[in-house]
Structure 1
């Protein structure tokens, strides 16, 4: 695998993760960084994730990643919570929710063969701030921005 192929795989990981978030969120590309033998792809969520909904937001992502066979590496339960996972093919994935309700996703590839890397091809949901300063989140969601805890699911019948 070369760096371009690894970048495409990182984009696939992000695409799958964002497809699993229901209701969907607005997002933009963040930095794409190429090292000597690795690539980091990042996205910033432009939908405000309220403090009351952060646990639910992270839970959706965590369940998706675990269903994909990703292994949990760490959890940060602070005011700016984060979860860290590793894919079966050794890509490290992370989501962090900042104190202002903005979520940041990052996928770091393993070391692979050096090559040129193209920018991500995925179309953003909302404005694309790639190469610019990303503003604070400014999109309100009836669900993700709500100031109350989401309704709990009924217990499964046994």
Structure 2
């Protein structure tokens, strides 16, 4: 596998993860980086995910990753800045981190692969595209994810 093929696989993992989030959240690409023999693809969520809904958000992503065959390697249960980390069977490392102002960030780091040129991601953000390094803090309201009440339980 070369870096472009690994980048395509990382992008597919990010597309699938964001596609599994219902109701959907608005997101944009962050800067990709390559070093040595691996690279990182990144995305930032611009939808406001309230503190009351962060646990539901992380739980939904955790269930999707497990269903996709990824192994959860660790989690940070912090109320303010929780995080979730996983590894795919083929060695890709996935992370979901909640940062400043509750912004959700997704990263996928590839395993060491054959060096090659790497094109920008082909998937289009489902909201405005921002210049690299200029993605705003969460500002898109969602009736579900931005609500300041706990998410209703699945059982009722």
Unaligned runs of 5+ in 2: none
Residue 26 in 1 paired to residue 31 in 2? no
Q: Which residue of 2 aligns with 1:6?
A: 6
Shift of the alpha carbon at 1:131? 1.6
Cα distance in 2 for partners of 1:20, 1:86 equals: 18
Query: How many residues get paired?
Result: 155
Runs of 4+ displaced beyond 2 Å: none
User: Is residue 2:143 matched to residue 1:142?
Assistant: yes
- Aligned partners of 2:102, 2:24: CA distance in 1, in Å? 15
Task: Quote the RMSD (CA, aligned, Å).
Answer: 1.0
Secondary structure at the residue paired with 2:18? Answer: helix
1:86-135 superposed Cα distances (whole Å, 9 cap, x missing partner)? 00110000001124121000000000000000000101011112424211
- Consecutive unaligned residues in structure 1, runs of 5 or more: none
Are 1:92 and 2:102 an aligned pair?
no
Is the 1:31–1:130 Cα contact (8 Å) retained in structure 2? no
Contact kept, 8 Å, 2:31 with 2:133, in 1: the verdict is no
